[in-house]
Structure 1
Amino acid sequence: MGSRRLFWEIVEQIERRIDAGDYPPGSRLPPERVLAEQFDVSRPTIREAIIALEVRGRVEVKTSSGVYVLDSNKKQQPEIEVSAFELTQARALVEGEAAALAATTITEEELDKLEETLLAMESGINADQADKEFHRIISKATRNKAILMAVEKFWSLRESRENIIQAYAGVCSSSAEARMNEHRNIFNGLKNRNAEKARAAMHEHFNRLINALFEASEAQALEEIKRKSSETRGLYSLNHLVQ
């Protein structure tokens, strides 16, 4: 994730307006369409910004009502630390079942959109965004808004928590071919309307990812042990006495 994502700029602008009193606590934000026009961005970008604002405790999304500004002066619940391992396990559990459900409900149009994301991942152009859209299309194809909301929350955590960003960075960039094959297997399960294969392919995808996270974590821990051992060796070495 090299460049700063556009929706984060929108998050900061909306937060500045909230802090300035343009959007006071309890008030409802303008509709998605109006915000998109005001900030001159797409509606999906506004949607991502709202999700991020909700995770940060600045707004509350009320179904069929709107997005309401929260009082930041009120005592907020302490932020819960979530590790990359916890997030990946949760995604596997939820998105595995989402894939199985989507296999029975996905439309041909949605399958075409999924294939477009696969082509984007293969080309390497905006591969991370295509990956995100791939998972979003599947969760939306379940026709279950709670599942869609959960998956969008997972992505918001992945893109907003520094520990998770760092953990995923090396793993995702070094395994593009494996990621591509896994997504293709998920797609094939959905295209064949095979719930078991779609679920299994999604589980295989996250299983490889979590194992890669463990390997990266172990390698980092080993490097830290070597560094500390080297410092200790330098501190207590007797080489200068025997030369």
Structure 2
Amino acid sequence: MNDIDNFQAITTDRLYIKIAEQLRGLIEKGVYKAGDRFPAERALAEKLGVSRPTIREAMIALELSGIIEIRTGSGIYVSNRANLSAPKLTDKGIGPFEILEMRYILESEICAIAATKITDEQVSRLYELIDEMEEEEKRPDASEQADGKFHLLIAEAAQNSALYESVKWLWDLRSKSVLSHSFFQTIRKEGIQPSIDDHKKIAFALEQRNPERASLAMKNHIENATVNAAKHFEK
């Protein structure tokens, strides 16, 4: 045997994968059995010493693997069809709550910058995109394309290509990350859609060229989106 064959590839799992594997281990050991309900999200986060968003993303990974069932309004349960002999959980991309957290930090500041530079034409386009969002919500296959265009237009108005590309990357992650894409598809089916009222407040603050109000409106919007998305896990 060649010496090189003794070496193993080094892999670095995302934190949510490590947490998901630990939770699956508890099921394998019989600590939690088929049909049992997991502790509340907050209790798990405190016990494991991680953030609640990390717990949520671990749960999404376990749900995608068929190990648990998230019953909105009831709780998180070990699936009766859980396949514990399945291979180690794999990285399914950056999770939706990590993306939302970064958007909160980045887009609120971009919105403040945009308020000082946005043109009348861009403001008009924002209101047109809000109308498009309202039309999209009426369709069962709503893709949130107008929502993405709205946020990218604000990034464009900031007149900084690095900021624009950063926002574009975050929005691309929503569809390219299996974890994030699957989750957003799920909550859309549950009736959770982008808030039209939040977008109107952002557009109005930008129209007024008010950086502080624009930043706050964006922060409130992403906070609301995070709270609404988290309802998927609530009992």
Same fold, TM exceeding 0.5?
A: yes
4+ runs deviating over 6 angstroms: none
Please list, as runs of the form range in 1=range in 2, the aligned pairs for 1:59-74 lying within 5 A after superposition.
none
Residue 136 of structure 1 pairs with residue 149 of structure 2:
no
Report the AA paired with residue 155 of structure 2: S
Residue 101 of structure 1 pairs with residue 113 of structure 2:
yes
Distance in 2, Cα, partners of 1:189 & 1:175: 24
Distance 1:145 1:121, change over 3 A: same
Distance in 2, Cα, partners of 1:211 & 1:85: 10
Q: By percentage of residues, which structure has more helix?
A: 1
| Structure 2 residues without counterparts, runs of 5 or longer | 1-90
Query: What is the match of residue 116 of structure 1?
Result: 128
Distance in 2, Cα, partners of 1:127 & 1:99: 23
Report the AA paired with residue 167 of structure 1: F
Report the AA paired with residue 154 of structure 1: L
Measured after TM superposition, the shift of residue 214 of structure 1 is 2.1
Q: Do the aligned residues in 1 keep the contact of 2:111 with 2:214 (CA within 8 Å)?
A: yes
Distance 1:185 1:127, change over 3 A: farther
Q: 2:187 aligns with which of 161, 166, 171?
A: 171
| Structure 1 residues without counterparts, runs of 5 or longer | 1-78, 220-243
Measured after TM superposition, the shift of residue 119 of structure 1 is 1.1
Distance in 1, Cα, partners of 2:156 & 2:116: 13
Q: 1:195 aligns with which of 211, 216, 232?
A: 211
Measured after TM superposition, the shift of residue 192 of structure 1 is 0.5
Distance in 2, Cα, partners of 1:172 & 1:201: 23
TM-score (norm 2): 0.55
Report the AA paired with residue 139 of structure 1: A
- Bigger Rg over Cα: 1
Query: What is the match of residue 60 of structure 2?
Result: none
Deviations 1:142-194 (A, max 9, x none): 00111100000001100111110122224346244x61001001000000111
SS where residue 195 of structure 2 aligns? helix
Distance in 1, Cα, partners of 2:188 & 2:112: 24
Distance in 1, Cα, partners of 2:115 & 2:167: 17
Task: Judge which range, 127-136 or 187-196, deviates more.
Answer: 127-136
Distance 1:205 1:171, change over 3 A: farther
Query: What is the match of residue 86 of structure 1?
Result: 98
SS where residue 165 of structure 1 aligns? helix
Distance in 1, Cα, partners of 2:165 & 2:105: 15
Measured after TM superposition, the shift of residue 197 of structure 1 is 1.0
Query: What is the match of residue 183 of structure 1?
Result: 199
Q: Do the aligned residues in 2 keep the contact of 1:92 with 1:203 (CA within 8 Å)?
A: yes
Residues matched between the structures, number = 141
Please list, as runs of the form range in 1=range in 2, the aligned pairs for 1:40-51 lying within 5 A after superposition.
none
Q: Do the aligned residues in 2 keep the contact of 1:171 with 1:209 (CA within 8 Å)?
A: no
Query: What is the match of residue 87 of structure 2?
Result: none
Identity, % of aligned positions: 29
TM-score (norm 1): 0.54
